[in-house]
Amino acid sequence: VQSPWVVVKLLGLLRKLSVPSESVARSRLLDCIELIFDKCQEPPSCKRLEHKNAKKAIIFETVLLIHHIK
């Protein structure tokens, strides 16, 4: 992920917005969440602690967003 802290902030912003009621918008949001999880499953390009922490922060915000949607 190129700018992990921007991703974390955007996920937090999505969590503060209302859940989309349209099926198309909801489907696109769920597709984005799935893509985020897929990206986080990829092996790290480096083993630096900052990279691991950024990845964990993204996963954490994504889980919070899923909880908000459900």
pTM beyond 0.95: the answer is: no
pLDDT interval class at 43 (50, 70, 90): confident
Distance CA 69, CA 63 (A): 10
Tokens representing 1 are 């992920």
Q: Does residue 15 register a pLDDT over 80? A: yes
Q: What pLDDT sits at residue 1?
A: 66
Q: Where are the domains of the chain?
A: 1-14+46-69
Q: What pLDDT sits at residue 64?
A: 93
Q: Are 33 and 65 in contact (CB under 8 A)?
A: yes
DSSP 19-66: PP-SHHHHHHHHHHHHHHHHHHHSPPSS--HHHHHHHHHHHHHHHHHH
Distance CA 45, CA 12 (A): 25
